[in-house]
């Protein structure tokens, strides 16, 4: 089973995450940031990755540390669970519509972290979460998972839908990229022989 557990404790946050890449979309998420919980639940549901993430953070300051650190540990857990990445499809993309919003994600589980971000929000908050924190989450996730990640929303008319559509698009792209290709299940998908 491709699973991992990561614990991170700093003066700002204390987070434990357990994942199973070959799961059934089971999730138990508690970060203290309601909208982030909703997004991580969407990520689990649509990627079929089991996610148990429990976080305690310095929310009395703001949500930044909890949001960023949750992405760090989730990214590290995915990287660890993938191991040497033998047999994965590696590349994937997803276009995800949500009413008047379209989100596009393309990713490569390359071992070379990168984030291209082209997402604009028309409000400073969705629920109680600052919209600027979505980029922080995706950046920390890409850097710690070792994924090249391109995120774009060419148009969108609702900030909740913009945020939710990018998490759902990430979920669908991850689901494809981490899946095992039966024809190459014993092969690392790179001419270098490692990722």
The structural domains of the chain, with segments of one domain joined by +, span: 3-184
Q: Are 21 and 81 in contact (CB under 8 A)?
A: yes
Q: At residue 123, does pLDDT exceed 90?
A: yes
Total-model pTM:
0.97
Q: Look at residue 161 in the predicted model and tell me its pLDDT.
A: 98
Q: Are 103 and 153 in contact (CB under 8 A)?
A: yes
Residue length of the chain: 195
Fold of domain 3-184: Ribosomal Protein S5; domain 2 (3.30.230)
β-partners of residue 51 are 19, 27
Q: At residue 121, does pLDDT exceed 90?
A: yes
62 pLDDT band (50/70/90 cuts)?
very high
Between the alpha carbon of residue 173 and those of residues 6, 60, 107, 110, 148, the distances in Å are 23, 34, 7, 14, 12
Q: Look at residue 1 in the predicted model and tell me its pLDDT.
A: 85
């Amino acid at each position: 089973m491709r699973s991992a557990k990561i614990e991170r404790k700093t003066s700002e946050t204390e987070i434990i995450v357990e994942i199973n890449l070959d799961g059934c979309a089971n999730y138990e998420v508690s970060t203290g940031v309601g909208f982030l919980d909703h997004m991580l639940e969407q990520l689990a549901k649509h990627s079929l990755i089991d996610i148990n993430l429990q976080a305690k953070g310095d929310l009395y300051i703001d949500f930044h540390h909890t949001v960023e650190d949750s992405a760090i540990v989730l990214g590290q857990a995915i990287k660890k669970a993938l191991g040497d990445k033998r047999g994965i499809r590696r590349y994937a993309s997803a276009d995800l519509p949500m009413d008047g919003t379209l989100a596009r994600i393309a990713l490569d589980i390359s071992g070379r972290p990168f984030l291209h971000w082209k997402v604009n929000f028309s409000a400073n908050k969705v629920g109680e979460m600052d919209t600027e924190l979505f980029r922080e989450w995706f950046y920390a996730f890409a850097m710690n998972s070792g994924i090249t990640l391109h995120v774009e929303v060419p148009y969108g008319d609702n900030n909740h839908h913009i945020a939710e559509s990018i998490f759902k698009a990430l979920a669908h792209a991850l689901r494809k990229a981490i899946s095992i290709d039966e024809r190459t299940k014993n092969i690392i998908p790179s001419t270098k022989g490692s990722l």
